A and B are shown apart, each in its own frame.
Chain A
């Protein structure tokens, strides 16, 4: 190999360049070889015969063809010399290659670099014929899969690395160290993600013992960051951003809050410079949006640790209100549950009932208004439920005071008497509420100024009382206290849920407070003891790049009791686990050790990714040479005067037609071109020849009348079959129904229904002059038709073109015409079905169209025919223009008002 400077060009087979000396020979050869003769058709050939040119030297090849061919030869020779861009220096140590590839969660952040470097190192070692051993730090998806692969050949190793993907769990260096192969004097290269994992130092020492260790890590900006849950309840969605603790001064990080559907609700740019991890990020969103919060994400980080999902993604919350049994309807306004239901109804599903009943429904939050005694077994269940993540909200009240012993499920121990500041014997005045302190999770809500508390149960004093108080009254006594129990929360409101002891239930603060508490509740607190097998099945899991996927077969369910302790691994990747109605998120960030960046160690040389790798230029050169060859061939074709097929107009259009028909554009257009381009009246073919003939004739007469009298100019009349024809082209279908007719087929019904649903209008004609018909019922039974009412005189159909006085004679006169009752919403007021029995087509068909020269007229016209035609014209206008004429309903009034105005004016 020569020319080893990085960023330059080098040739692996430099001796091949000597062949370039042969180029002049090619030049001379090309010069003297005559080009192929052109053939020219020429009538006067006879006169040419026997003419001998004096000079017999061949015509020269044009210089630019020579240049082209020389260039081609030069490119081929250069390709033979195997040039590479940015040639790599020869490795210092010759020995087997041991490649440690970090494929834990953090590797996804610099995966391209890791993969490129691995491929490059493997290619280098392969070129020198060295053995290659690959070690991966994290277990693969197949649970027991080995972490040691090798020794491998170069192509196997390349294929393995190309297929390798980062895992969404933590590397297990200890397991790798236990299975290390026995290799000596090797080149050991560790491609790390930059974070120090447990067992790092031990593994590094062992690797150093195997030969020379070089450790690659990304630049500090590309170190993986992770998200984990904040340690305390927060009023707003909050997340903790964690990164290497021993490193400072990084680029700002953008943290996004995503909705359940993946929409970005909000984002924060977190300045990390000069701050140390972990950093808590809080999103103060409007209430409405907070309810939609689904997950967090670090922008520009695609690791599994950079995603954090909230439990119960988008699931509706349910609240159970434990109401006393004898809830009488008469005294509703004095009942606690009435106020609670009113306040919570818009935000959650409300369950009401006995304590023993609601457990089965798995509520997110339980409210116990003024419940004194809880049976011991239920109390046990309740406390387990709370500790599993439930939110229990209790209200004080007279019953609680009377209870013999107050149970332990209160945030604070309670005194056994109520403090009443309102009674006739009391000289205190009702107490107001202090503004909420910033430390309280309810901070941000404002108690109304006129809020007055007159009754209260006071807590026993204890040393930790102050930490548990969320809201205090003006005298410093608590209004709301809360305590965390396991994963759950017990909240106590020291007054009643009804206005008995205060006007709190009548205030806006009451609703705000309940809503805020509702947010603290997860989606259905887990109640492991009540679950049959206690297992949460995988629903969706993250892949190594932080994308949600459906779980593979290797993903196992997690015991709900041990869910919080479950460390994500190959069998339990992070993601969603759950059953119906309950979903819990397993987040990688919650289970990661304190992240630290790898620091320099003695035996290993530390390198950063991002070097340019050598690039083989042979394919590019060969490609260029081939292109030149094609160009040369084309030029030769031209020069030899090959006859190009002359594209005549006929042939071109034929080819174009073929191509068009291949795309199916022609057949589609050929089916119904007229109907789509011109207004067409259509009737449904009954199969009865005489009825169809009458329909055809009748509609032709109607079309003629429309052409003569209106600007609607139907061009064609078509009989259609609802089963096979496309109906969308016709604004109006005339459907004569005959007694002998079979009910329409399911396909026909589906097509007709689609036609009606998409704005079509059908005139159904029973053709018998009667108002009810068995045939009609049978025919239309399976069509979804709105309720029909008799046509009123105000209906648009009476005035869409002619003013009809509610008479629509066909062959029969006087029968009722039925249209949709309410003006059809979304259809511009056009009734989808107009139903009558007048046998209009027969009436119209009694007329005949006479054409005399340019003049057309209808013969045989009587007043009844005129009226019948007028109905037809109105009908078509109605189908085409909708309620446009409905405005004219008001014309008389407008005219009247105008007239009055004129009379009153000067």
Chain B
């Protein structure tokens, strides 16, 4: 499927969440503005504390008004903040090209829009965004452009390989997570050791969730490598659904053990809800 333009869709999703913005502004003003207070003095905008002048301090840091109140000379210290990095990884292989009749977009497009939406929200807040394993994160328009390109690129890996992310960075893994749980665990464990701010977003097609097929069907995966012959698809539907539910539960448990969060997005449902859910969860 040819890709629709990504950015407009992501902007649309981000803009169509006025509620999201309103709530975010109300609940986490500083988060929206990208400030992550370090609770110590440093280079920042907001006031942190007054401290007596010591030799070596810059004279222009002296707060003359405060100093005039007493005999001592004070300098005004501001709170230290540093922009946080926010890194994304999306699964981009042939599996993600799947689209059933009930959904509007395929999984790859949906996950790309979701990633870009989150990236835009983060970058509006002054954080630095980037695709994990592809250069340094940033918040310039150029970085966003490169990011957008990476999202639509084709990649054959179904799981991240030897990624390195900054400590305590935000990390979003967007995939269908159809691989065995053991493989997923071993692939993401190194990342989980570096940050607690992790998200696993499972983007799944309704057909993958429900198996709405009927009759004699030969199922083959998107690359055409493995196939399974089912004589009566209707008959195994409930068994499949149970299996799928179990798989997702395993993933949720895995995420919670690492302190990460896990969410399932159904491609037939609006993207805004999932984006809002993630964003509010972040702001908490």
Contacts and interface: CB of A to CB of B under 8 A. Distances in A.
A553 interface: no
Nearest to B207: A42
Contacts of A54: 235
A48 B235 contact: no
B43 interface: no
A58 B231 contact: yes
Contact of B220 (A45, A55, A57, A58): A45
Given A42-B221, A51-B243, A53-B235, A59 B215 contact: yes
Nearest to B225: A45
A55 B227 CA distance: 21
Contacts of B222: 41-43
A887 interface: no
A44 B215 CA distance: 18
Contacts of A46: 178-180, 221, 226
A37 interface: yes
B217 A43 contact: no
Interface in A157-187: none
B98 to A, nearest CB: 5
Contacts of A59: 214-216, 232
Contacts of A48: 211, 219, 228, 230, 236, 240
Contacts of A57: 232
Interface in B204-249: 205, 207-208, 211, 213-222, 224, 226-233, 235-236, 239-240, 243-244, 247
B95 interface: yes
Given A43-B95, A51-B240, A53-B236, A38 B217 contact: yes
Nearest to A648: B2
B231 A53 contact: yes
Given A51-B240, A54-B235, A55-B235, A45 B218 contact: no
Interface string B163-201: 000000000000010111000000000000000000000
Interface string B51-87: 0000000000000000000000000000000000000
Nearest to A44: B208
Contacts of A34: 216
Given A48-B219, A48-B230, A51-B243, A43 B178 contact: yes
A44 B243 CA distance: 11
Contacts of B98: 41-43
A39 interface: yes
Chain A CB within 10 Å, residue with most, of B219, B235, B240:
B219
Contacts of B107: 43
A56 B231 contact: yes
Q: Which of A34, A44, A52, A58 has the most CB of B within 10 A?
A: A44
A45 B217 contact: no
A49 interface: yes
Mostly helix, strand, loop or mixed at chain A's interface? Answer: loop
A435 interface: no
Given A52-B236, A53-B230, A59-B232, A45 B221 contact: yes
B247 A45 contact: no
A41 B101 CA distance: 13
A524 B207 CA distance: 97
A35 interface: yes
A360 interface: no
Contact of B217 (A37, A47, A55, A56): A37
Contacts of B205: 43
A35 B216 contact: yes
A45 B219 contact: yes
Interface string B29-51: 00000000000000000000000
A46 B222 CA distance: 12
A58 B216 contact: yes
A51 B178 contact: no
Contacts of B176: 43-44
A92 interface: no
Contacts of A35: 215-216
A40 B205 CA distance: 14
A36 to B, nearest CB: 8
Contact of A51 (B96, B220, B230, B247): B230
A369 B227 CA distance: 115
A41 B211 CA distance: 12
A49 B231 CA distance: 13
A58 B176 CA distance: 32
B218 A47 contact: no
A45 B178 CA distance: 9
A575 B232 CA distance: 83
B239 A55 contact: no
A844 B30 CA distance: 74
Given A38-B215, A45-B227, A55 B236 contact: no
A37 B216 contact: yes
Interface string A53-70: 111111100000000000
Contacts of B230: 48, 51, 53
A37 B239 CA distance: 21
Contacts of B215: 35, 37-38, 59
Contact of A37 (B179, B208, B229, B244): B229
A583 to B, nearest CB: 77
Nearest to A41: B222
Nearest to A36: B216
A34 to B, nearest CB: 6
Contacts of B240: 47-48, 51
B216 A40 contact: no
Contacts of A38: 215-218
A44 B220 CA distance: 9
Given A45-B219, A59-B232, A40 B244 contact: no
Nearest to A52: B236
Contacts of A40: 213, 217-220
Contact of A39 (B211, B214, B218, B243): B218
A354 B208 CA distance: 115
A160 B239 CA distance: 77
B247 to A, nearest CB: 7
B200 to A, nearest CB: 17
Contacts of A45: 219-221, 226-228
Contact of A47 (B178, B207, B224, B231): B178
Contacts of B226: 45-46, 49
A43 B108 CA distance: 12
Contacts of A53: 230-233, 235-236
Contacts of A43: 95-96, 98, 107, 176, 178, 205, 208, 221-222
B244 to A, nearest CB: 6
A39 B247 CA distance: 25
Nearest to A45: B221
Interface string A400-425: 00000000000000000000000000
Nearest to A57: B232
Interface hub of A38, A39, A51, A58 (most chain B Cβ within 10 A) = A51
Given A38-B215, A44-B208, A55 B228 contact: no
Contacts of B95: 43
Contacts of A56: 231-232
Nearest to B239: A51
Nearest to B219: A42
A41 B231 contact: no
B178 A44 contact: yes
Contacts of B208: 42-44
B17 to A, nearest CB: 29
A799 B219 CA distance: 84
20 contacts: A37-B215, A37-B217, A38-B216, A38-B218, A39-B217, A40-B218, A43-B96, A44-B178, A45-B220, A45-B226, A45-B227, A45-B228, A46-B180, A47-B178, A47-B240, A47-B244, A51-B240, A53-B231, A55-B232, A57-B232
Interface of A: 34-49, 51-59
Q: Nearest 7 pairs between A and B by C-beta?
A: A53-B235, A43-B95, A53-B232, A37-B216, A51-B236, A59-B215, A45-B221
Given A43-B205, A51-B230, 4 more contacts: A41-B224, A42-B222, A43-B98, A51-B239
